[in-house]
Structures are given as structure tokens and as C-alpha cells.
């Protein structure tokens, strides 16, 4: 009952947050000096065409009327039409979002595989050279801008070594010879589901550099969070008892201790996942990755109001959902945490 009350309370708060975000984003988008009606008409529009488009788009109405019309459509599941692509925004998002999700999930997987083990070892060998080196890696990961690292990776692995591709999701040759059948929109999953191993290998190679660049912040965060919680957990009596009883050190660290130290790290990585969704914009531009970041960038440059507001709301919904989910999971895993 307490969990249900907590969820209902958070959902009510989420509604107010979404309304506030939609109002602020809508007003900011309208303050920018531009003429979306001219962008809707196309290059070299006439005055008559701009006036007609202004009426068609409802831009001649007061701001509050435009906002209410937008929210009315949103309540019906209609995010509006993009001024740039002339397509329903929901259709565009279904096209671009899977590419971003694939990139972010790959980055988070790298962060988990690298960050958590390093954090465990750093906490277990506090004060050693390994601890100092790992802490240096975590500081660099948190501090270094992802786009700068992306450029450095391109220079090293593409320009100097010629080992990895410069960008894009898949090479042109493979897309023509072994096209991927769209199921989820994520190339690696779709290629695996359909047994397209040539495309799977090519897509896996293309995602390495952008995913690694995007993973730097989550890696640093995972190392720092895991290290701090491991130091605390390793001082507990049950860990000392396990070591006295001769349990293998690897089991003590990666099973007994990590089980109780992992919750704060997963909570932080969950929030880092949302951060990566928004932080992927520059990475997608650098690596020519056709994801949501590229879509939003084009919308901002074209002052595509409906797209800007819709994507902002979607990101807010994702953040609220993940935050709520993490709170519930943490309360279920750790009995010391209560939902209030």
C-alpha cells in the first residue's frame, strides 16, 4: 500500500513537472527571433505564401491559444508535424530514437563492464598504485568532454591506425549488399534477430568509437560510486568472517561485497543513462550518427517549435520514469530504504 501511494504521489508530481517543462520550453521557443512559417514554405517564399502558412500553422493566434492547441493534440497522442521534415513528429521519433538508444545502451554496457570491476578493485586495494591509477581514470572520465574524446579517438583509430571507421552506423557497401531488416530500429539487434552476421559485424565495428566516447562519464561515475561503497562494505563484519573462513577473495569481492555495494552505483548509472541521452547530441554530430541528437539539432537550427517542445517532453518523461523506477528498485533491494 505504501509503495502504491508513493507511485501515485510521484505520478501527480510528474504531471506538474511536465506541464512546467512544456510551458517553459514553449515560451523559450517562441521568444527566439525566427519565422517558422517561412521555413515551412521552403526556400525563397513569397509574402503571400508566408501569410498563408502562418494561418495554416496557427501562428497568427495568441501564444496561449497556440499552447492549448498543442497540449490538446498531445493529449490525443499527436505530437504535431515537423516544420523541417513535414512528417508527424511521432513518426520521426520512431525513426531516430532507436539509433540513439542503441548508442547509449552500448555506452552504458561499456561503463558497466569497465567501471564496476575497476571500482571493486580500487576499493579492495585502497591506497595502492592500482587505486591511484583507477581514481585518475575516474577523474579523467568525469572531467573530459565526450565530444573532445570522440575527436581524439577518430584521429587515433581512423586517421593514424586505420582500424575503425570514422562514423555512420553502417558502411554503404554492407547496407547495399546485406541490408538490415528493420524490427526494432537498432541495427545490431535487428541483424542478430535475422541472422545477418555480415551487417552485425559491420554495425558492431561502427558503434565502438561513439559508444566509447559516450561511455567516459558513466565509467568515471561507476568507478567512483563503486569504490566508495566497496570501502564501506569491506569493513563489515560478515566480510571479515568470510575471509577468515577461507572463502576465495574473488568471491568475497564480486559476490558478497558487490551485492551490497552495487545499488548506489546502479542508481547513479540509471541517471547517467538519461544524461547520456541528452549528451549524445554532440557525439552523433561528430560521428554522423543519424539519431535523435541529429534530429533535434536540425530542429533547433530550423527553429522547428513542435519538435523542440516534443523532444524535451519525451526526455522529461524518460527521466521521470527512470528516476521512479530506480527509487522502487532500490527500496526493493535494500530494506533500509523506505518510499516516502
Q: What is d(CA 283, CA 81) in angstroms, rounded to the nearest whole number?
A: 26
Are both 278 and 130 inside the same structural domain?
yes
Predicted pLDDT of residue 153: 92
* Residues 152 and 214 placed together within one structural domain of the fold: yes
Contact at 8 Å (CB) between 71 and 297? no
Query: Would you state the pLDDT for residue 205?
Result: 94
Instruction: In whole angstroms, give the CA distance from residue 223 to residue 141.
Output: 10
32: region left, alpha or beta (phi > 0 left; psi from -120 to 50 alpha): beta
Give the relative orientation of helices 197-233 and 89-124 as an angle to the nearest 10 degrees.
50
Neighbours of 136 (CB within 10 A): 10
Query: Does residue 102 share a domain with residue 210?
Result: yes
pLDDT, one tens digit for every residue, the chain (340 residues): 556 676 777 778 878 887 887 787 777 766 665 666 666 666 666 777 777 777 766 777 777 787 887 777 777 777 777 877 878 888 898 889 999 999 999 999 999 999 999 999 998 888 888 889 998 988 888 888 888 889 999 999 998 888 899 888 999 899 899 899 989 989 999 999 999 999 999 999 999 999 999 999 999 999 999 998 888 888 888 888 888 888 888 888 888 888 888 888 888 888 888 888 877 888 998 998 998 888 888 888 777 777 888 888 888 888 888 877 777 776 666 555 555 5
Q: Are residues 206 and 103 in the same domain?
A: yes
pLDDT at residue 339, rounded to an integer = 55
Residue 295 falls inside a structural domain: no
Under DSSP, the state recorded for 335 is: T
Residue in this structure with the C-alpha cell 531488416, named with its chain if needed: 181
Q: Are residues 259 and 221 in the same domain?
A: yes
The domain that holds 183 is classified in CATH as 1.10.3720.10
Residue with cell 517532453: 313
Q: Is residue 297 part of a domain?
A: no
Q: Return d(Cα 140, Cα 136) in angstroms, integer.
A: 6
User: Which of 252, 269, 290 is the last residue before a domain boundary?
Assistant: 290
Instruction: Give the integer Cα–Cα distance in Å for 245 and 69.
Output: 69
Query: Which pTM was predicted?
Result: 0.83
DSSP code at position 234: T
Residues 210, 153, single domain; the answer is yes
pLDDT at 331: 64
C-alpha 110 chain-centroid distance: 14
In this structure, what are the phi and psi dihedrals at residue 339, rounded to the nearest 5 degrees? -90, 120
Flag whether 44 is in a domain: yes
Question: SS3 of 88, please?
Answer: strand
Query: Residue 227 in contact with residue 123, Cβ under 8 Å?
Result: yes
Q: What is the pLDDT of residue 287?
A: 92
**What three-state secondary structure class fits 170?**
coil
CA dist., res. 178 & res. 180, Å (int):
6
Domain count, the chain: 2
Do 178 and 256 lie in a common domain?
yes
Q: How far, in Å, CA of 236 to CA of 194, rounded?
A: 49
Q: Domain for residue 266, yes or no?
A: yes
Residue 89 lies in a domain: no
**What letter does residue 160 receive in the DSSP assignment?**
I
User: What pLDDT is stored for residue 202 in this prediction?
Assistant: 94
pLDDT at position 192 is 93
Q: Are 206 and 161 contained in the same domain?
A: yes
CA–CA gap between residue 218 and residue 142 (Å, rounded): 8
228: containing domain: 96-290
Evaluated on CA atoms 248, 110, 173, 161, the torsion sign reads: negative
Residue 59 grid cell: 501562428
**Residue 81: strand, helix, or coil:** strand
Amino acid at each position: 500500500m505504501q509503495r502504491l501511494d508513493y507511485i501515485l504521489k510521484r505520478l501527480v508530481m510528474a504531471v506538474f513537472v511536465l506541464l512546467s517543462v512544456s510551458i517553459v520550453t514553449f515560451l523559450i521557443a517562441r521568444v527566439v527571433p525566427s519565422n517558422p512559417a517561412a521555413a515551412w514554405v521552403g526556400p525563397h517564399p513569397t509574402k503571400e505564401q508566408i501569410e498563408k502558412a502562418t494561418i495554416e500553422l496557427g501562428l497568427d493566434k495568441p501564444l496561449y491559444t497556440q499552447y492549448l492547441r498543442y497540449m490538446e493534440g498531445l493529449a490525443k497522442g499527436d505530437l504535431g508535424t515537423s516544420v523541417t521534415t513535414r512528417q508527424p513528429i511521432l513518426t520521426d521519433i520512431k525513426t531516430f530514437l532507436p539509433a540513439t538508444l542503441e548508442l547509449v545502451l552500448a555506452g552504458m554496457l561499456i561503463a558497466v563492464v569497465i567501471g564496476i570491476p575497476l571500482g571493486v578493485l580500487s576499493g579492495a586495494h585502497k591506497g595502492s598504485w592500482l587505486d591511484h591509477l583507477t581514481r585518475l581514470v575516474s577523474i579523467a572520465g568525469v572531467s573530459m568532454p565526450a565530444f573532445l574524446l570522440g575527436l581524439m579517438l577518430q584521429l587515433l583509430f581512423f586517421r593514424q591506425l586505420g582500424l575503425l571507421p570514422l562514423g555512420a552506423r553502417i558502411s554503404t557497401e554492407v547496407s547495399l549488399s546485406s541490408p538490415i531488416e528493420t524490427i526494432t530500429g537498432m541495427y545490431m539487434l535487428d541483424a542478430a534477430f535475422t541472422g545477418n552476421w555480415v551487417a552485425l559485424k559491420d554495425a558492431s565495428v561502427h558503434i565502438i568509437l561513439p559508444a566509447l566516447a559516450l561511455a567516459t562519464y558513466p565509467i568515471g561515475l561507476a568507478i567512483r560510486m563503486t569504490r566508495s561503497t566497496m570501502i564501506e562494505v569491506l569493513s563489515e563484519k560478515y566480510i571479515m568472517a568470510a575471509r577468515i573462513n577461507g572463502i576465495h577473495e574473488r568471491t568475497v569481492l564480486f559476490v558478497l561485497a558487490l551485492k551490497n555495494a552495487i545499488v548506489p552505483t546502479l542508481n547513479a548509472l540509471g541517471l547517467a543513462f538519461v544524461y547520456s541521452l541528452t549528451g549524445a547530441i554532440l557525439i552523433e554530430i561528430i560521428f554522423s550518427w543519424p539519431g535523435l541528437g541529429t534530429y533535434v539539432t536540425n530542429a533547433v537550427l530550423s527553429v522547428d517549435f513542435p519538435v523542440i517542445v516534443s523532444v524535451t517532453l519525451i526526455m522529461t518523461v524518460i527521466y521521470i520514469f527512470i528516476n521512479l523506477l530506480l527509487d522502487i528498485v532500490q527500496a526493493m533491494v535494500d530494506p533500509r530504504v523506505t518510499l516516502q
